[in-house]
């Protein structure tokens, strides 16, 4: 024990201790999963530029978004033709690629993912049923853009409307669902805007259920990925609709507009296009136990959108992997205890520590524990007592809280007095 630590022990104070565990685990992509909710894992880091964008109008931020140039990744700059791009690991929330992800954009039919989230919630709670039929209004029938061609004055099954909305990207299907659930599109949109912050959307506002151009209607690439994550996690029983290859209604056959789904490279979600937003895509795929979500927008054509989406998806799976570093309750280190009935307390992981690791960085990183030494008794089970620190070149340290794996009671009055005088055992 060093002289400074011995003196600290005798005075009942503590000093910071950082003990190396081992190196060569891996460079870390972004964050650890410790049982935190998805919204916390995906919460954006608000730099000054992001705050400025959040207060600007949708049109202004659209103009500010970079057209070309590289995206930021843990591996360094990465070129993408997309104006907005965001790639995230579904399980850990690790951000693998980021380009203008907090800058507002016209989301076009990516909006329908949020529309679907509200519809799925109504289905899950029994407010509506798949076999229920909803009437087609003249407004729905006249809605332009992509359509499933609902018949005016008739009723359509909810199951058909969901398929028409997600496979055929039918704007008319969205209107029928919105009016059937909320009475009007406007009231349904109010439900979308009310639900958005509850699921972690921090920079989105909806003016319609379709994504047709409207002033004040915007999302960010990060928020699109957040909606996708919630659709997958919250409604697995309905997620399959995004992956269906085709749908025929009213004797009109249409294929899924998501080319990555059509090619078997993704199991969902949506594409979209408007003049303001360009060609966009949100896709998710699971390979070798890992799931990735890719969001791009602002490409120049449907072919460029498909190629770039496929390229980023392949890049993510080729360059990153998930690894469980420690299991819940696993003892990672022991910290000395001052004035406690035990000399030390185990430091444990509060939950499985799962990290997203860039491939090939296994020998370039370092893991250590950081805690105030000694820990002052009493110590309660589960008390946060330090942190696991993961370091890698050119990256900020990642800190994961560690908990006390046992309770340590405080010494009695006499024992504490003797310890302070140096006559008792060092504890």
- Statement to judge: residues 259 and 399 lie in one domain: no
Confidence of residue 419 (pLDDT cuts 50, 70, 90): low
Q: Which of 293, 319, 345 is where one domain is finished?
A: 319
Confidence of residue 242 (pLDDT cuts 50, 70, 90): very high
Whole-angstrom distance, CA of residue 322 vs CA of residue 357? 6
| Residue 298: inside a domain | yes
| Residue 219: inside a domain | yes
| Residue 184: inside a domain | yes
- Statement to judge: residues 74 and 195 lie in one domain: yes
- Statement to judge: residues 150 and 50 lie in one domain: yes
Q: What mean pLDDT do residues 135-149 have? A: 94
| Residue 209: inside a domain | yes
User: Residue 378's domain spans which residues?
Assistant: 3-27+327-421
Whole-angstrom distance, CA of residue 137 vs CA of residue 54? 36
pLDDT tens track for 38-67: 222 233 333 333 333 333 334 434 444 455
Confidence of residue 357 (pLDDT cuts 50, 70, 90): confident
- Statement to judge: residues 118 and 189 lie in one domain: yes
pLDDT at 411: 76
- Statement to judge: residues 18 and 49 lie in one domain: no
Alpha-carbon distance values, 282 to 81, 110, 226, 267, 340 (Å)? 15, 7, 11, 11, 54
* Domain harbouring 356, CATH code: 2.60.410.10
Judge whether residue 1 has pLDDT over 80. no
Q: What mean pLDDT do residues 279-298 have? A: 95
Q: Which of 262, 291, 319 is where one domain is finished?
A: 319
| Residue 187: inside a domain | yes
- Statement to judge: residues 124 and 142 lie in one domain: yes
Residue 163's nearest CA partner among 172, 153, 152, 154 is: 172
| Residue 32: inside a domain | no
Whole-angstrom distance, CA of residue 45 vs CA of residue 51? 10
pLDDT at 19: 63
Q: Supply the residues annotated as catalytic.
A: 109, 112, 169
- Statement to judge: residues 137 and 280 lie in one domain: yes
| Residue 282: inside a domain | yes
pLDDT at 325: 81
Confidence of residue 340 (pLDDT cuts 50, 70, 90): confident
pLDDT at 76: 86
- Statement to judge: residues 375 and 266 lie in one domain: no
- Statement to judge: residues 56 and 148 lie in one domain: yes
| Residue 190: inside a domain | yes
Q: What mean pLDDT do residues 106-129 have? A: 97
Whole-angstrom distance, CA of residue 170 vs CA of residue 162? 9
pLDDT at 43: 31
CB 293 within 8 A of CB 266: no
pLDDT at 351: 86
pLDDT at 410: 83
Q: What are the phi and psi torsion angles at 56 (to 5°)? A: -85, 170
pLDDT at 25: 42
For 17-54, what is the HEC assignment?
EEEEEEECCCCCCCCEECCCCHHHHCCCCCCHHHHHHH
Q: What is the mean pLDDT of the chain?
A: 82
pLDDT at 14: 52
Is 270 flagged in the annotation as binding? yes
- Statement to judge: residues 21 and 90 lie in one domain: no
Number of domains in the chain: 2
Most confident by average pLDDT, 214-223, 344-353, 359-368 = 214-223
pLDDT tens track for 163-186: 999 999 999 999 999 999 999 999
pLDDT at 361: 59
Confidence of residue 298 (pLDDT cuts 50, 70, 90): very high
Judge whether residue 414 has pLDDT over 50. yes
* Domain harbouring 120, CATH code: 3.40.710.10
DSSP for 306-328? HHHHHHHHHHHHHHEEEEEEE-T
- Statement to judge: residues 265 and 216 lie in one domain: yes
- Statement to judge: residues 71 and 13 lie in one domain: no
What's the token pair of residue 328?
A: 């819940």
236 vs 50, which has greater pLDDT?
Answer: 236
Q: Which of 319, 337, 369 is where one domain is finished?
A: 319
List the single range of 134-143, 387-396, 409-418 with lowest mean pLDDT: 409-418
Counting residues of the chain whose pLDDT is more than 90, the rounded percentage is: 60
Confidence of residue 187 (pLDDT cuts 50, 70, 90): very high
């Amino acid at each position: 024990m060093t002289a400074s630590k011995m003196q600290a022990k005798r005075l009942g104070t503590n000093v910071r201790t950082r003990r190396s565990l081992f190196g060569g685990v891996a460079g870390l992509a972004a964050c650890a999963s410790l049982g935190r909710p998805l919204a916390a894992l995906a919460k954006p880091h608000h730099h000054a530029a992001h705050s400025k964008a959040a207060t600007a109008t949708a049109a202004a931020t659209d103009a500010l978004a970079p057209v070309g140039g590289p995206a930021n990744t843990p591996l360094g700059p990465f070129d993408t033709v997309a104006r907005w791009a965001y790639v995230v690991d579904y399980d850990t929330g690790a951000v693998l690629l980021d380009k203008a992800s907090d800058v507002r954009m016209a989301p076009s039919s990516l909006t329908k993912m949020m529309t679907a989230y509200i519809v799925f919630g109504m289905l899950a709670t029994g407010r509506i049923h798949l076999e229920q039929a909803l009437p087609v209004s003249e407004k729905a029938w006249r809605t332009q853009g992509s359509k499933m061609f609902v018949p005016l004055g008739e009723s359509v099954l909810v199951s058909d409307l969901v398929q028409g909305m997600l496979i055929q990207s039918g704007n008319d299907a969205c209107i029928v669902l919105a009016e059937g659930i909320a009475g009007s599109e406007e009231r349904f949109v109010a439900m979308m805007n009310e639900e958005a912050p509850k699921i972690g959307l921090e920079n989105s506002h909806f003016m319609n259920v379709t994504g047709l151009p409207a002033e004040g209607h915007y999302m960010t690439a990060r928020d699109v990925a957040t909606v996708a994550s919630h659709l997958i996690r919250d409604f697995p029983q309905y997620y399959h609709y995004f992956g269906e290859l085709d749908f025929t209604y009213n004797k009109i056959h249409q294929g899924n507009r998501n080319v990555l789904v059509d090619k078997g490279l993704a199991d969902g979600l949506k594409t979209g296009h408007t003049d303001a937003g360009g060609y966009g895509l949100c896709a998710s795929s699971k390979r070798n136990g890992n799931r990735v979500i890719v969001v791009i927008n602002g490409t120049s054509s449907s072919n460029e959108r498909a190629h770039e989406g496929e390229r980023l998806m392949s890049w993510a799976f080729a360059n990153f992997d998930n690894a469980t570093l420690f299991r819940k309750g696993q003892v990672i280190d022991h910290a000395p205890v001052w004035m406690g009935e035990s000399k030390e307390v185990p430091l444990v992981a509060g939950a499985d520590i799962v990290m997203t690791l860039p491939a090939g960085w296994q020998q370039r990183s370092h893991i250590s524990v950081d805690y105030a030494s000694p820990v002052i008794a009493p110590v309660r089970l589960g008390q946060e007592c330090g942190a696991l620190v993961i370091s890698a070149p050119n990256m900020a340290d990642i800190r994961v809280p560690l908990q006390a794996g046992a309770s340590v009671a405080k010494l009695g009055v006499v024992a504490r007095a003797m310890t302070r005088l140096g006559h008792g055992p060092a504890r």
